[in-house]
Amino acid sequence: MVEVFKTNVYEVEKSNLIFQKLHEHFPENKINFDLDDCDKILRVEGNNILPGKIVEILEEEGHFCEVLD
pLDDT level of residue 52 (50, 70, 90 thresholds):
very high
Query: What confidence tens digit (pLDDT) does each residue in 28-49 have?
Result: 999 999 999 999 999 999 998 9
* Residue 68: other Cβ atoms inside 10 A: 12
Does 64 have pLDDT greater than 90?
A: yes
Question: Given a cut of 90, is residue 69 above it in pLDDT?
Answer: no
Tell me the whole-structure pTM to 2 decimals.
Answer: 0.94
CATH number at residue 50: 3.30.70.100
Q: Which of 20, 4, 24 is nearest to 65 (CA)?
A: 4
Dihedral over Cα of 9, 25, 28, 65: its sign: negative
- Encode pLDDT of 2-22 as tens digits: 999 999 999 999 999 999 999
Which domain range does residue 11 map to? 2-67
Q: How many domains does the chain have?
A: 1
First-to-last CA distance in the chain?
Answer: 14
